[in-house]
Structure 1
Amino acid sequence: MDKQQLIDCHNRIKPFIHNTPVLTSRLVDAMVGANLFFKCENFQKMGAFKMRGAANAIMQLSDKQRQNGVVTHSSGNFAQALSLAAQSLGVKAYIVMPSNAPQVKKDAVKEYNGHIIECEPTLAAREALTKQIQKEKRATFIHPSNDDAVILGQGTACKELLEIHQDLDYVFAPVGGGGLIAGTALAAKYFGDNCNVIGGEPFEVDDAYRSLQSGMIETNKTTNTIADGLRTQLGDRNFPIIKKNVQRIIRVKEDEIVKAMRIIWERLKIICEPSCAVAFAAILKEKEAFLGKKIGVILSGGNVDLNNLPF
């Protein structure tokens, strides 16, 4: 995926996305000892960066594919993104969701006219049901993160950030399925000036960290993290990009995620979800390594169940 493809993708999806704001905080900068620039994808349409990749993926389909609809499996944010993007483009969306997905995210999918089919909360169950719907409905499967069109779309968030702040030393992003950090790494490569990308990942789902160590895609034995949007798996499309272009991944504990989330709520005065706070938690964990640096932070989303806050 080259620079021109990323530019073309951004131009294609602009009518369907927000160019989200970038926030700063003197108090947070003082706390970290660096200059932080928060790219607020919690203000994106449907509340997360995933609208970018979903819109790009659907816009790449043929008329025949659009007629038959699209299908994905997602615990929440990509489910909402694909539903809204499909609704905007007049396409039917079938969404396989685990039964334990947050109710607030299920409700949002329904609001965007996504057709929910629930399954057991395992990756195997999600994939099996998705394949069944593909066969029955002839719907086109769009993977939440392991898809070139999705990766390019997610990269446009970092592209927008670097268009405003071209001299960032680092960009941090959370790591789940790998689509966001792969797209972020491509944007940093093509639009940054020696800009390094670092991932934040929960210890409880640290497959990306272990994959970088071993050089091959590792799997998770547990998904016991508060960061529900990161309970996913790296793929063969995004991992080579991550391996080549992401400097490293910093793992964080559950209480560190909650602490970072709380600081964002209190200091930036905005809502972010636990998955969104993971990148900032990684900076806080190793802030001595980044003293005096200019750092972009992709705040991935703000779809929170207000009845189930961790603080």
Structure 2
Amino acid sequence: MAGERLRVDVQGRAVELSNLDKVLYPAAGFTKGEVIDYYTRIAPVLLPHLADRALTRIRYPDGVDGGSFFEKNKPAATPDWVRVATLPVPGSSKGRETIDYVVADDLPTLVWLANLAALELHTPQWRIGTHPDLMVVDLDPGAPAALRQCCQVALLLRDRLAVDGVEAHPKTSGKKGMQLSCPVAGTQSAEVVSGYAKRIAQELEQRHPRLVVSKMAKNLRPGKVFIDWSQNSAAKTTVAPYSLRAAPTPTVSAPLTWEEVEAGAAGERPATTPYGPTEVLDRVETYGDLMSDGGVRPALPE
């Protein structure tokens, strides 16, 4: 029934759910209840990627065909058990000096956010109070380039980063591109991390000018893959691994194996359709968390 509310216990926290039958992905008939179910089931591998990170949400209260809004500040009526971190935001366009960020460290917070139709979860490359511990590279294909070309560039990046002892973990963006997440030492500033990513992007552009572009100008990008090194700015966030995306049907930013990337680069797996929630849950059953870094976190050459 529309407007019906249900109070549930999630690991000892009382969470109020509402409108579980509300369709948030009309093309697939995918409801808010199914969104909550997905986030509940994926939580064991998702939460470690959200822990201690200031969370930006993109909310779709009327579904993906309705309006959406970015939300950084804690919502009104945030439960007192939700962890909130007050952090400075220098240069805010809204004149704020600080923002009260939600930190999703546990399942009750994740369920509460899913009930607010926070479909997309985006995190910075740093944990609260630290330097960046991730370097993120976004691979954005300019048509007619597509995911196959992204896979080719991902392999070039993997091999070049390995020369400096940097391990890269590939994932789909959940839309048309890919991202590489690279654990780093967490002892260097965002400027150092961004500067290194920019140098690598420019180096690959010089070596592979028909495939790679490192500049953001759209007129340079048709038929090439833009290596977006600027994701490592202290002000940027990236969609979290296992987060849903707002597409006509529910898709997920899904971690990949390098074998899959190699197959994609060869055109053997035409990944024109991103992975959906059920597929990603099945993949976790098979692979576990492909984004687990194993504790290897090198410092970057300066």
Structure richer in helix, relative to its length: 1
Structure with larger Rg: 2
Q: TM-score, normalised by structure 1?
A: 0.28
Structure richer in strand, relative to its length: 2
